[in-house]
Amino acid sequence: MLSFSYNVKEELSRLPSNTCCQRAELASLVRMAGTIKIIGGQRKMFLKIQTVHAPTARRIYKLLRKSFISPVQIAVKRNNFLKDRSMYIISIDLNHCRTLLEELGVFPTGDSFGLKKTVINPELIKKRCCKRAFLRGAFLGGGSISNPKGPYHMEFVTQDEGTVDTLTKLINDFGLKSKVVERKNNYMIYLKAGDHIADMLGIIGAHNNLLRYEDVRVLKEMRNSVNRIVNCETANLNKTIDASVRQIESINYFKENNMFDDLPENLKQIAQ
């Protein structure tokens, strides 16, 4: 059975987008899942983007084909960590795409070969639609969301501190609150509030899965509400029963010790 996170990514991978949004999404995908590979024998450098999600791999391939003239290669390898899934590796010669990557702000200018410590081009995410596209690319490249039947959780994982700053700022721009935690060599930006996760699904364009998410969330909250009411009623009933038992024990005590007739008339009527 496919996970909820997989279904969200599959929906996002099929969304149409404008040219400006495609550049923002590609910049985010490269930031989240891209690496530079140097092949010594061929004296070539390649940009490689890895994913275990087939629809995401197809989307990355199409975005690269639209942006670069250079041939885009795609390879499928066995995943050593997830045995039931393959690893898709999309690669392109860096010599043919370096200029555009520098313009996108995902590759440093000069002689540096890393994808880190670069600043995202602010023009890429100037429009609101492009901000949504950047967040969508971040989710496709390094995001996940838990099944709404369990605890609410949505996260973006990256190794780049600059990307963390960009993502948190964009999330805050949409009125949502995210938190950041550092784990080993990675940073995790995450949301825990159910309302904020629902809003994020709408922001990145996963509207069909947003409806499924809300259906499960409403049913879950309704069950929790019913359980709270039942537990409250049960607790009140137990208190009433305990009080009644103590009253009966008190009445029997008075009767057994010939003290019942000494009670006031109104109390005797209540006791009887």
Output the pLDDT for position 269: 66
Cβ-count burial 7-35 (b if 16+ within 10 Å, e if not): ebbbbbbeeebeebbbbbbbbbbbbbbbe
User: What's the pTM?
Assistant: 0.77
The list of the chain residues with pLDDT below 70 reads 1, 40-43, 69-70, 79-84, 106-119, 254, 258, 260-263, 266-272
Output the pLDDT for position 115: 52
Q: What is the pLDDT of residues 228-247, one digit of tens each?
A: 777 787 777 778 877 777 77
Q: What is the pLDDT of residues 178-216, one digit of tens each?
A: 999 998 889 999 999 999 999 999 999 999 999 999 998
Output the pLDDT for position 36: 78
Residue among 153, 154, 126 at smallest CA distance from 27: 126
Output the pLDDT for position 190: 95
Share of the chain above pLDDT 70, in %: 84
- Cα separations in angstroms, 142 against 20, 139, 155: 21, 5, 8
